[in-house]
Amino acid sequence: MADFSGKVLALAGGVGGAKLALGLSRILPPHQLTIVVNTGDDETFHGLHVSPDLDTMLYTLAGLSNPETGWGLAGESFRVLEMLNRYGAATWFNLGDVDLATHIRRTQLLGEGATLSEVTTELCQRLNVRHRMTPMSDDPVRTFLKTDQGDLAMQDYFVRLRCEPTAAAVTFVGAEAARPSDEFSRALDEADLVVFCPSNPLLSTGPILALPAVRERLGKGNPARLSVAVSPIIGGEAVRGPAAKLMTELGHEATCVGVAKMYQDICDVLVIDEQDSESAPAIVSLGIRPLAAPTIMNTEEDKVALARLILELGGGFQHDE
Amino acid sequence: MADFSGKVLALAGGVGGAKLALGLSRILPPHQLTIVVNTGDDETFHGLHVSPDLDTMLYTLAGLSNPETGWGLAGESFRVLEMLNRYGAATWFNLGDVDLATHIRRTQLLGEGATLSEVTTELCQRLNVRHRMTPMSDDPVRTFLKTDQGDLAMQDYFVRLRCEPTAAAVTFVGAEAARPSDEFSRALDEADLVVFCPSNPLLSTGPILALPAVRERLGKGNPARLSVAVSPIIGGEAVRGPAAKLMTELGHEATCVGVAKMYQDICDVLVIDEQDSESAPAIVSLGIRPLAAPTIMNTEEDKVALARLILELGGGFQHDE
């Protein structure tokens, strides 16, 4: 096994992404890892700026996350939301009391002129998260879905309507004018290994890849860099969330081969689950090296093992170089 | 006993004011009572608009207030504040979880363009408060104290520094440009009985009286109106809070006679506590009719009894008229 001494850029969305990022953070020292998180899911609730994917990552890395859901905080209570409901506010988005402190603090600091990156760094420091996590952009990008129930903001679709509408298109409003955050941009320049965490390729890594020039800067053919993706689709189903349903509705193949096609221009290696090993030839034919391995991450050991496998790929690549 | 059928305008600040207002609301139907509440204590905490006196009144009238403190809510928890503290926010102002829902909702509605009056009406309706309570103004007025520890905002002085600094002056920043709220202005025109609740005359009714033309519009000599104040000073001490200390520091006499002097131009009757009955001649000499009665309000019966006494004064006045 070759030790990996380079810099890692991990791109992540929600729960699956946070699991692998946690694994990476257990192995890599802080200066070797930058975690870039989707903000296309961000939404304003009750006048507060909520960043669901940043929060999932924050709570996961801080050891505070709810182990049953993967999002939210362990031992949450919902007294504020109950009272907001009594006041007639729309409370379909489940915000816990402790979680609300994050949104209140973030909103306050943003209101005082801090960037989302600065706020994220501040929250991480306060919760003793030493690895660098950063929003994909400090500019607003909002994921919308065109569906048979109308145009829906991401949380409307995902939480309120439980992904039930049939989607015809996904758009990232604001993406064209948004710039990658400074940390993201630096990591794009410096990374020796890029990791696409097992997140929804349409809704989680999609917004990140929609930022100007990001796809180009991540493109294959950089002799000094390896790009490894982990398929969030196993046996034709998403480990969680609407990835498979949405891929089908939008004309993609809801398999790890479909994932490979979406990452074809930016991915050198696709880690697929061992139960999908028969898809390997189809992935090879797309110019991507498949690697079959256990990819379901239930325990912390699972997360660390998958992270170690990916870092070994990076180390082997460095060694060959 | 003469029944009182006219309109009552009650001016109130914090806990003492809310107690008498509750008593009035137990006797009067909603259309006969308008409660005008001090907003000079309002402050922004964590980016949220907190109106301590409006909240005390709201929770009191809604039957939700903490019976031990008189402010805040019964059965509160403080999980949001603990997390805000972990995030490095200044958490010396004690905001409970359920209470925070009020501030979140208020801030959201204000942010959407509602006036503080409109927000107050909305919150009241949601909590089934049928009597009309209104902020003294929809324009910002902030009480500051000039002290030996510098210029202090009201909550800084009152909560953070526990009223320990020695005050030299009280100012109401914004009062000159502020207009009384519509409900207050209407009540100023229509009231048959004005009640100065037993609130701090410097910090609670002071800001209300500092609004343009309010003192003049409340002035004595209106043959169709009776003005009754209740002294918050009993036996030379405030029932609660810094009223007596502050009156002394600012050169007032910390007695019910001192209160009478502060209300001399606007008050027909001053209800003083029965233990202060020897002060009656001094009050008479100021052109105010003193009425000695039990004024300490511990139980709901106490509150209703004091309210009834005041309404009887009003009824007698109507009858004489």
- Which candidate in A58, A77, A97, A124 is best for mutational testing of the B interface (most B CBs within 10 A)? A97
Q: Name every chain A residue with its beta carbon within 8 A of the beta carbon of B113.
A: none
Which position has the higher pLDDT, A146 or A70? A146
Q: Name every chain B residue with its beta carbon within 8 A of the beta carbon of A49.
A: none
- Which candidate in B97, B102, B124, B129 is best for mutational testing of the A interface (most A CBs within 10 A)? B97
Q: Which residues, in sequence order, are bridge partners of residue A133?
A: A35
pLDDT tens, A26-35? 999 999 999 9
A12/A38 Cα distance (integer angstroms): 6
Q: Contact, B268 vs B220, CB < 8 A?
A: yes
Q: Name every chain B residue with its beta carbon within 8 A of the beta carbon of A127.
A: 86
DSSP code for B2: P
pLDDT of residue B321: 53
pLDDT of residue B319: 65
- Please determine, for residue A1, whether its predicted confidence score (pLDDT) is greater than 50: no
Average pLDDT of the residues in A188-215: 96
**CB-based contact B98 A87, cutoff 8 Å:** no
pLDDT of residue B320: 65
**CB-based contact A98 B80, cutoff 8 Å:** yes
Which of B47, B82, B127 comes nearest A104 by C-beta?
B47
Which of A81, A87, A123 comes nearest B87 by C-beta?
A123
Q: Name every chain B residue with its beta carbon within 8 A of the beta carbon of A88.
A: 122, 126
**CB-based contact A77 B97, cutoff 8 Å:** yes
Angle between helices A300-320 and A15-27 in degrees, nearest 10: 60
pLDDT of residue B15: 93
Low-confidence ranges of chain B (pLDDT < 50): 1-2
- Average predicted confidence (pLDDT) for chain A: 95
The label of the residue with tokens 């810094």 reads B242
pLDDT tens, A88-116? 999 999 999 999 999 999 999 999 999 99
**CB-based contact A46 B89, cutoff 8 Å:** no
Name the residue among A56, A95, A92, A59 with its Cα closest to residue A76.
A95
pLDDT of residue A319: 65
Phi, psi of B183 (to 5 degrees): -65, -40
Min distance B77 CA to chain A CA atoms (Å): 8
pLDDT of residue A69: 87
pLDDT of residue B117: 98
Average pLDDT of the residues in A240-246: 90
Q: Contact, A232 vs A242, CB < 8 A?
A: no
Token reading at B190: 């229509």
Name the residue among A122, A124, A74, A119 with its Cα closest to residue A99.
A74
B285/B263 Cα distance (integer angstroms): 13
Min distance A112 CA to chain B CA atoms (Å): 9
* Per-residue three-class SS string for chain A: CCCCCCCEEEEECCHHHHHHHHHHHHHCCHHHEEEEECCCCCEEECCEEECHHHHHHHHHHCCCECCCCCCCECCCCCHHHHHHHHCCCCCCCCCCHHHHHHHHHHHHHHHCCCCHHHHHHHHHHHCCCCCEEEECECCCCEEEEEECCEEEEHHHHHHHCCCCCCEEEEEEECHHHCCECHHHHHHHHHCCEEEECCCCCCCCHHHHHCCCCHHHHHCCCCCCCEEEEECCEECCEECCCCHHHHHHHCCCCCCHHHHHHHCCCCCCEEEEEHHHHHHHHHHHCCCCEEEEECCCCCCHHHHHHHHHHHHHHHHHHHHHC
Which of A80, A102, A126 comes nearest B101 by C-beta?
A80
A307/A317 Cα distance (integer angstroms): 15
Min distance A261 CA to chain B CA atoms (Å): 42
Min distance B48 CA to chain A CA atoms (Å): 8
Does ipTM surpass 0.90 in this model? yes
Closest-CA residue of chain B to A126? B87
pLDDT tens, B130-146? 999 999 999 999 999 99
Q: Name every chain B residue with its beta carbon within 8 A of the beta carbon of A81.
A: 101
Min distance A116 CA to chain B CA atoms (Å): 15
Q: Name every chain B residue with its beta carbon within 8 A of the beta carbon of A86.
A: 101, 126-127
Q: Name every chain A residue with its beta carbon within 8 A of the beta carbon of B126.
A: 86-88
Which position has the higher pLDDT, A172 or B222? A172
C-alpha R_g of chain B? 19
Closest-CA residue of chain A to B126? A87
pLDDT tens, A263-306? 999 999 999 999 999 999 999 999 999 999 999 999 999 999 99
pLDDT tens, B170-200? 999 999 999 999 999 999 999 999 999 999 9
Alpha helices in chain B (DSSP H): 15-27, 52-61, 79-86, 97-111, 116-126, 154-155, 182-190, 205-209, 214-218, 243-249, 256-262, 280-284, 300-320
pTM: 0.94
Which position has the higher pLDDT, A238 or B186? B186
User: Could you tell me how many CB contacts below 8 A there are between chain A and chain B?
Assistant: 90
Name the residue among A158, A129, A131 with its Cα closest to residue A43.
A158
